Amino acid sequence: MSERKEFRTLVSLEDAKKALIPFYKRDIEEVPLNECYNRVLARNVYSRVDVPGFDRASMDGFAVKAKDTWGADEESPRPLRIKGIIHAGDKPDISVEPSTAVEIATGAVMPRGANAVVMVENTDTSGEDVNVRKPVSPGENVMHTGADIMMGELALRAGTRLTSREISVLAAVGLDRVAVYKKPRVGIISTGNELMMPGTILEPGQIYDVNAYAVGAGVIENGGEPVYLGIIRDVYEDFQKAVVEATKKYDIVVTSGSTSAGASDMMFSTVGSFGKVLVHGIKIKPGKPTIIGEANDRPFIGLPGYPSSAITIFNEVVAPMIRHMSGYPEKARREVTARMAVRVRSEGGREVLLPVGLINEKDALSAYPIEKGSGAVSSLLDADGYIEISEDTHVIDEGDKVSVKLFSEEITFPDLLMIGSHCLGIDIITEMMSEKGYTVRSINVGSMGGFRAIRKGIADAAGVHLLDESGVYNEPFLRSLNVEDAVLIKGYVREQGLILPKGNPSGIKGLEDLPGKQFINRTKGSGTRTLLDMELKKIAEGRGTTLQVLTESIPGYDVEAKTHNAVASAILMGKADAGLGIKTVAEQNGLDFIPLRDEEYDFVVKASSMNKPAVIAFMDILRSAEFKKRIAELGYKPQA
């Protein structure tokens, strides 16, 4: 029943937002006072009472006629006869006459005849008298009727977001129910045969449903109420029924997945069967395969399946509508100006929202791209904000000024920024740095990416393990890649080899057996990939052929994993017969391992960062007995 539908009429991001403007409506409801926190006031609140409703003492002490205290001091106190005592909540029938006083508690009703309160610490008692040692003026330490809020006064204005402070005012003026903007109820549907609920055990080809929970949190952040409607499989009738029912019950319906132009994608045909498609495709990256429509007078938005794309489109398109409906003010992102740390190319033809990280150098900000692809959940986690690249822009040069829209109000710079190859040892370093009070941000881009990050001055340190044809690790690349302003710090030795399923059912004995076997590779530029290609090149030359011909005979050679753990996971799930990785990961996952060679995992440190306290702490950790002990537990060996 599904229909292949290409995106023939892409609209701009601005036009996509405009398509939802007819649904920017607000409803009002009254809620109990104890349920109005974080809601938005829908009507002005005028006080129907005075706050306080009587003259009251603002200090513990003695209610007096002020003129009876004038001239009093420590040397010559003024004695006044005590006529009684008034507690908070009492209805006093006592009055203050000349040369008399009444003991009074904070918050108690002022007695007749009194116009001031002497604080108790400025008095002492002697029998039936109180000795006043400091004079007071009329009205001192007294809060008069209506001094806080007067009857008829505007206490709170419509549009105010209610926090503990505002709720205290509502209680003070006696309201037990409050008129607020109704929270829009947002029905959330996930689609896809591959999706599973978090907490279940995944089978090969399955992934956890990320978008439902990310979108649900976004709904709450923007003042709405999420309703999770579960996962709908790629069955047209089931999907159609779920969407139709949702548009009858909820103010907004948000789905994720099944929006791109493909045979298994059902959103377009489903929408067309019972509603109207308003937008089918946006000129933006990430987020091109987005659908906006209406049915039963309710809006629905089909988000892309990839998490970073779904979250981006939700924040840009859906969140503003939810905020309006709930009464929240439009979210104004804080913007900062930075210079691009590297050259960035854009394909043009559509707007790009590029996640970037920020570094602070010489009191100026630099932005570096976080490019992990639309499917990467962690790309937004590693970023501080994003830049908007217009559809007419093809290149942003290194050093160009850009405006960065921040994800949060404040920029939190890590004490140590590491960009390079993935390693379990970095997790230990991060933990030990935290114990010393330092924060670390680690971004996995491979060894080659780490060298580039140091060369560009982006990172403080990079973990690297690149093997040169001379058989030397890492050091030759400082020269060949023109990495200046850098110091190579020796790290530790890891054992690289083939990771295989338990029992090695394919009978693989070494790299020479890989042709015809399903393989899982590492990313280009990683030290592991470099080692593999060097060894395969030797095998190819020994067989009188080329590396390209040999690799074409290895299924999966072009399938890349970003980490050693990802290699092990692919093998555990039966996606591959073999992959290259470190022995530690194979052992942790109960997999077989065939040793290939030891490799040197080192750190390239920016020379100008060597005096930073965090880098000094990092160096101390590398040299510490505790660190050496902990990496030994991983199966690593310190370098001599």
Q: Is 90 helix (H, G, I), strand (E, B) or coil?
A: coil
Half-sphere exposure in the Cβ direction for 79 (13 Å, CA): 6
Which of 128, 39, 49, 113 has the alpha carbon at shortest distance from 81? 128
| Range of lowest pLDDT (472-476, 522-526, 608-612) | 522-526
Which of 569, 549, 568 has the alpha carbon at shortest distance from 557? 549
Please name the fold of domain 56-143. Answer: Molybdopterin biosynthesis moeA protein; domain 3 (2.170.190)
Residue that the structure tokens 């924040």 belong to: 315
With both helix axes pointing from N to C terminus, report the angle between 424-435 and 613-623 in degrees, rounded to the nearest 10: 120
What is the pLDDT confidence band of residue 288, given thresholds at 50, 70 and 90? confident
Instruction: Return the pLDDT at 379.
Output: 66
Q: Is 417 helix (H, G, I), strand (E, B) or coil?
A: strand
Instruction: Return the pLDDT at 258.
Output: 64
DSSP state string for 258-282 = S-SSSTT--HHHHHHHHSEEEEE-B
Instruction: Return the pLDDT at 260.
Output: 54
Instruction: Return the pLDDT at 495.
Output: 92
Q: Is it the case that residue 164 has pLDDT exceeding 70?
A: yes
195-199, 344-348, 362-366, 405-409: which is most confident: 195-199
- Rounded CA-CA distance 280/426 in Å is 44
pLDDT digits (tens, 9 = 90+) for 530-576: 889 999 999 999 999 999 999 999 999 999 988 888 899 899 989 89
Would you tell me which CATH number, out of the four given (3.50.50.60, 3.20.20.70, 3.40.190.290, 3.40.309.10), belongs to the domain 427-638? 3.40.190.290
DSSP state string for 98-156 = TTEEEEE-TTPBPPBT--EEEEGGGEEEETTEEEE-S---TTTTEEPTTSSB-TT-EEE
Angle, CA 8 vertex, CA 4 and CA 10 arms, to 5°? 120
Half-sphere exposure in the Cβ direction for 347 (13 Å, CA): 10
- Of 377 and 354, which is predicted with more confidence? 354
Sign of CA dihedral 420, 426, 431, 436: negative
Would you tell me which CATH number, out of the four given (3.30.450.40, 3.90.245.10, 2.170.120.12, 2.40.340.10), belongs to the domain 337-413? 2.40.340.10
The neighbour count for residue 187, using CB atoms within 10 Å, is 23
pLDDT digits (tens, 9 = 90+) for 489-531: 999 999 999 999 999 999 999 999 999 999 999 988 788 898 8
In this structure, what token pair is assigned to residue 3? 């229909």
How many residues appear in the chain? 640
What is the pLDDT confidence band of residue 34, given thresholds at 50, 70 and 90? very high
In this structure, what token pair is assigned to residue 615? 């880098």
- Rounded CA-CA distance 367/363 in Å is 13
- Of 8 and 363, which is predicted with more confidence? 363
Instruction: Return the pLDDT at 640.
Output: 65
pLDDT digits (tens, 9 = 90+) for 48-100: 999 999 999 999 999 999 999 999 999 999 999 999 999 999 999 999 999 99
Instruction: Return the pLDDT at 1.
Output: 37
The neighbour count for residue 249, using CB atoms within 10 Å, is 13
The percentage of the chain sitting over the pLDDT mark of 70, rounded to a whole number, equals: 95
Where along the chain do its domains lie? 13-26+183-326, 28-51+148-181, 56-143, 337-413, 427-638
Q: Is it the case that residue 263 has pLDDT exceeding 50?
A: no
What is the pLDDT confidence band of residue 327, given thresholds at 50, 70 and 90? very high
pLDDT digits (tens, 9 = 90+) for 186-210: 999 998 888 899 999 988 778 889 9
Is-cis flag, bond preceding 304, omega within 30? Answer: no
What is the pLDDT confidence band of residue 450, given thresholds at 50, 70 and 90? very high
What stretch of H or E contains 521? strand 519-522
Which of 450, 484, 482 has the alpha carbon at shortest distance from 603? 450
Instruction: Return the pLDDT at 549.
Output: 95
pLDDT digits (tens, 9 = 90+) for 373-400: 555 666 677 788 899 999 888 899 988 9
With both helix axes pointing from N to C terminus, report the angle between 625-633 and 424-435 in degrees, rounded to the nearest 10: 140
Whether the Cβ atoms of residue 317 and residue 331 lie closer than 8 Å to each other:
no
What is the pLDDT confidence band of residue 231, given thresholds at 50, 70 and 90? very high
CB-based burial label for 243 (10 Å; 0-12, 13-18, 19+): buried
Who contacts 19 (Cβ-Cβ below 8 Å, separation ≥6)?
11, 278, 279, 292
Residue that the structure tokens 């780490």 belong to: 450
Taking CA atoms, 443 is separated from 21, 31, 200, 420, 422, in Å, by 39, 46, 28, 7, 8
- Of 170 and 443, which is predicted with more confidence? 170
- Rounded CA-CA distance 485/499 in Å is 37
For residue 471, the 8-state DSSP code is: S
- Rounded CA-CA distance 502/506 in Å is 10
Which of 418, 284, 280, 275 has the alpha carbon at shortest distance from 357? 418
Topology agreement, domain 28-51+148-181 and domain 56-143: no
Whether the Cβ atoms of residue 340 and residue 396 lie closer than 8 Å to each other:
yes
Please tell me the CATH code under which domain 28-51+148-181 is placed: 3.90.105.10
This prediction has a pTM of: 0.75
For residue 40, the 8-state DSSP code is: B
For residue 35, the 8-state DSSP code is: G
Instruction: Return the pLDDT at 2.
Output: 38
Q: Is 423 helix (H, G, I), strand (E, B) or coil?
A: coil
As a whole number, mean pLDDT of residues 150-154 equals 92
Average pLDDT, the chain: 90
Instruction: Return the pLDDT at 202.
Output: 82
The neighbour count for residue 237, using CB atoms within 10 Å, is 10
Instruction: Return the pLDDT at 372.
Output: 61
pLDDT digits (tens, 9 = 90+) for 417-444: 999 988 889 999 999 999 999 999 888 8
CATH class of 13-26+183-326: alpha beta
Q: How far apart are the first and last CA of the chain?
A: 66
- Of 158 and 238, which is predicted with more confidence? 158
